[in-house]
Each structure stands twice: as structure tokens, then as C-alpha cells.
Structure 1
Amino acid sequence: METPIGPLLVAATDEGLVNVGFRADEAATRRAVASMGRRLGTDPVEDAARLVPVTDQLEAYFAGERKEFDLPLDWSLITGFNRRVLRELATGVPYGAVVGYQGLADRVGEPGAARAVGVAMASNPIPVVVPCHRVVESDGGIGGFGGGLEIKRILLALEGVLPAPLF
């Protein structure tokens, strides 16, 4: 799917959205689909109709018309602490808000786990929809982002957290 942040790979199972991948050129898509197939224990099947609700909601989000996603999510690629953190992020940090790594660790009852929260963000298979771009450094820095800092800045600007890039 083409978006203002570049091509995204979106993938779903019968349970729901399972993956959103950045920089989804042909080679990256092939690798990601093969990896997902191995991890999920199934052969991928292209089914554009299944993805219409996902692509419609992502298009509305990028157009500034949608502030939250209403999609079933398949959490099967995420386990343990990472799943707890990402679920809290998905439900507890709304559009236009940010949370620090430490704040998110505190929310899941693991106050000593700020660095582990960073690892959870880096392993998020459903970015944008599970908004890891909303997690920032506690001292006000932007922090890291698996999609790259330029994409994080664009997403935070879209949500009104940062000023829009000048160019």
C-alpha cells in the first residue's frame, strides 16, 4: 500500500491484522511474507479483500480523518512482556499524545524495565496501528524508531505532537 511515509506491507490472518511493514519494496515484501509464513506456520495467501478495512483505515489516518483504529489485531507474533507493553500502548496512548519509555514501563507494573520497553517497541510487528511512534524519551528526546526517525517525525507531526517538517 502506498502511503505518505512510503510503501507499507499489511498482512492479516483470520484473527486480524498481524503485520505492518515499512519500506515494502518487492524484495522486502517477499522476505517479510516468507518470514511471517514460517513464524505463523502457514503458507501466505494474497487476499486483497481481507485487507480493505485495514487499507481504508490507514488511508483515513494518513489523510487526517481518523484518530483511532478499529481493527481486530492478531497478537500471535508477540508474546510475554512485549505483548503486555504493546497492548497497553494500543489502548492507553491516544492520538496526539506521547508517553516515555519509563512511563510505559510503569503502566505495565515493571518500573525497572524502561530499556525493555524500547526492545518491545523495536519488535512491534504492527506499527502505526499499535503506535510505537508515540513512545519518546523521558527527557523529551524523540527516541528511536524501527521505521527511521524521519518516519517517526512525520507521524508525530500528523498527530500534532511535532510541527510539520518544512521540507
Structure 2
Amino acid sequence: MLHPNVIGDWQEYDEAFTGLRVRVHGLMKGNIPSARGRDDKAKGLTYFSVQITVENRAEEYFDLRLSNREAQVRAGKDGHSAFLDEYGSAWIENFRVYPLRRATATLYAAAPASHLKTLDIQIAMRVDDERTAPYVWVGSDGVPESTGRNTVKMARGKESIADEASKFLEEGKTDV
């Protein structure tokens, strides 16, 4: 992956999982789960949620597993770990997704309100008991979801977080 996905983008899998694709979308700030975590680690933090949808366009089924061990959320410019509410989130646990079907998980997390301007969400789910390659989505609480690579940039009239991340990655390249 040369560039991170923007929240709302689909990511296609290849090789062993051809036809399978995943999307992180539906970022909602202030969305508190009905069954909050068992401890009070989120006290003073702002909750948010995202949807993670897996779609099967292959001609065979896949067994999926997406739990708190397969997802990471980082918030803020320095990439601090966000509190992932594993008890309030709705995960995909050992679910068989057939061709032309989808499965969706709802992930609840919390971070300081000031850190919600930069979010990185990494998904590395298990398919048929094999871990997939990790993919990253970037977004923010004030940026609309993308429907294409240039849509967010045109809608806001300035660079999106994905554009900034792409520039940062390009500047860090060295000739080998």
C-alpha cells in the first residue's frame, strides 16, 4: 500500500482472498455504545464510532473474524492509542460470508476531543483462520467521507488528511 485509505474508501484484497473487500466508514463523533466498557478508562474522553463492512464478491464463501485483536485506532498527530471499547463494540466473530453478501462490525473508541482531528484506523482481520495484510484508513471528525480520492479535497477546497499523509510518505522516500 503506497497511500492510506480515506475513511469511506473500499480496499480490495488480492491473491488468496480475491473478491473480498473491506471498508471503514460512518465515522460518528459522540456516539456512545449502549453497553459501555466494564471499566472507566474512557472517563474524560470523547467517544466515536465507525462501521467496518466486509463484502464478498468472490464465488466462494469466506470465514471472517474481526475482533479487538484485529483492529487498532490511533488518534492525534503523534498517533496515540485510542481507548477501544471492546465490550460495547459489535464484532464479527467466526462468521461465514457467502458470495454477494456483507458483514458489518461497529467499532466504538474514545480519545481526547482535541485528538479527533487526526484518526488512523488499522484493520488486519482473519479470513479462513489466516491473518490478512493490515490496511489503514485516515480521517477526522470534521471531514466528510470520501466517495473517491479527489472528492474530499474538492469539497473542502484544501488538502485532506489523506493528501497530507500521502505527501508525508512521499517526502520520506529515499532513493534505493
Fold match, TM over 0.5?
no
Question: For this structure pair, what is the TM-score category when the shorter chain's length is used for normalisation?
Answer: under 0.3
Higher helix share: 1
**Radius of gyration: which is bigger?**
2
Higher strand share: 2
Q: TM-score, normalised by structure 2?
A: 0.26
Higher RCO (CA 8 Å, separation ≥ 6 residues)? 2
